[in-house]
Amino acid sequence: MDKKLFKAFKALGEPTRLKIVKMLSFQSMCVCELSEVLDMLQPRVSQHLKILKEADLVRESREGYWVYYSLDKEKLHRLWQDFLAFLDTDLKNLPDFQLEYERLANIENNERVNRTKDNLRKKKNNAR
């Protein structure tokens, strides 16, 4: 899988960073504003912003003494398009998924899976 895609989704998987992204979708904000809204110390907010920047989701611009952060909607849109392309790609054509493709192709004949399914069916029937 594309490392940019992985990094972006990992960054978005943390609730505070998702809140920051949502706030930045409305307007650009500096760390002190985000800190106040999130009721969080500035160094922690800065750490979250650093991760979002490294994932190419947020950009910064300087205005005098202040650094304002904004959502990079173009890159976010590109990320979404890349994700959709990833979902549309046949599993056998993804180089990092060769082993999973082979296992999936043989899943109906997998003894462990079939045994688990049989056990679940038996438990369900016994519960009736």
pTM for this prediction: 0.75
State the span(s) of the chain assigned CATH 1.10.10.10: 3-74
Q: What is the pLDDT of residue 26?
A: 92
As beta bridge partners, residue 29 has 69
CA dist 64 and 102 (Å) reads: 57
Q: Where are the alpha helices (DSSP H) in the chain?
A: 3-12, 15-26, 31-38, 42-54, 73-88, 98-105, 111-127
- Mean pLDDT value of segment 16-45: 95
Q: Which residue has the tokens 């202040």?
A: 66
Q: Which of 6, 18, 89, 90 is nearest to 48 (CA)?
A: 18
Angle at 64 between CA 59 and CA 67, to 5 degrees: 25
Q: Which two tokens stand for residue 52?
A: 């979002």
Q: Residue 54: which residues within 8 A CB-CB, separation 6 or more?
A: 7, 11
C-beta atoms surrounding 39 within 10 Å: 6
Q: What is the pLDDT of residue 1?
A: 55
pLDDT tens for residues 3-22?
888 899 999 999 999 999 99
Ramachandran quadrant class, 64 (left: phi over 0; alpha: psi -120 to 50; beta: rest): left
Q: What is the pLDDT of residue 61?
A: 93
Pick the CATH number of 3-74 from 3.30.530.20, 3.40.50.970, 1.10.10.10, 1.10.1060.10: 1.10.10.10
pLDDT tens for residues 54-113?
999 999 999 899 999 999 889 889 989 989 998 998 888 888 888 888 888 888 888 888
Q: Residue 18: which residues within 8 A CB-CB, separation 6 or more?
A: 12
